[in-house]
A and B are shown apart, each in its own frame.
Chain A
Amino acid sequence: MRFYETLYLLSPELSHDDYKAVLEKFNGIIEKNGGVVIRVDEWGKKDLAYRVRKFDKGFYVLLQFCGPPGITALLERDLRLDDRVMKYQTIKLKDKADPEQLKKEFGTQEEVESEEQKDETPEGASEIAEESVEEAEHGVQ
């Protein structure tokens, strides 16, 4: 299993339900293809450094997962075809990774975060979401 992370950028016009649906969809793709989702980090609505599709803002989602080598091709095909995804980038973090061990490293964080952010993102959550993002980043390092 390889350890990857994909950062993708969603259109800021998505409703709360649509946003959740997109997350579910991509998590589902990984699990369907023999991968394991380690952590999903929702950064919330952030300002962009330049305009993308005439939007100044967008939802960032960081998805860390393990999977067999071909899994990124499948995931990226769907990311490319989905109109709601404006940008995406996948980076390999480790060649040989043990998903169980990684889950232990990130596991507690994942549960806390996903519960905290359920009500907050995407609407009106910029401040709180950003705070938890910063915490999460320190946690990773």
Chain B
Amino acid sequence: MAYNRTRRTYHRRKICKFCADSTLKIDYKDPKTLRMFTTERGKIIPRRISGNCAKHQRMLTLAIKRARIMALLPFTTSVVR
């Protein structure tokens, strides 16, 4: 029995959002934009999923971590309010 090798091989080309849109700036003071790159639990979405380029992902993680320190973004949402 030949094992099933039909891997679904259609990649959708992922584009770095920050490269595509130069008006979009990475700023730790802007939690609205940063929230697009975190999960509902507050984790940073990895590059392989978001499609960001390495340079912008580096800037993004730094910005998210800075925003977390200033309570603009959550570290996690498991805290019961």
Q: What residues make up the interface of A, taking CB atoms closer than 8 Å to B?
A: 7, 9, 48-52, 56, 58, 60, 62, 87, 89, 91, 137, 141
Question: Assuming A50-B79, A51-B79, A137-B29, is B66 touching A87 (CB within 8 A)?
Answer: no
The docked-state distance in angstroms from the alpha carbon of A50 to that of B69 is 10
The docked-state distance in angstroms from the alpha carbon of A137 to that of B26 is 12
B60: interface (CB < 8 Å): no
Interface residues on B, range: 10 to 19
**Chain A residues positioned under 8 Å from B72 (CB to CB):** 49
Say yes or no: A49 contacts B74, CB within 8 Å: yes
Smallest distance from the beta carbon of B36 to chain A beta carbons, Å? 15
**Chain A residues positioned under 8 Å from B69 (CB to CB):** 87, 89
**Chain A residues positioned under 8 Å from B30 (CB to CB):** 137
Smallest distance from the beta carbon of A79 to chain B beta carbons, Å? 13
Q: Which 5 A-B pairs rank lowest in CB-CB distance, beginning with the nearest?
A: A48-B71, A49-B74, A49-B71, A49-B73, A141-B25
Question: Assuming A51-B79, A89-B66, A91-B66, is B74 touching A7 (CB within 8 A)?
Answer: no
**Binary CB contact string for chain B from 38 to 81 against chain A (1 if under 8 A, 0 otherwise):** 00000000000000000000000000001011111111000101
Interface residue from B23, B70, B74 paired with A89 (Cβ < 8 Å):
B70
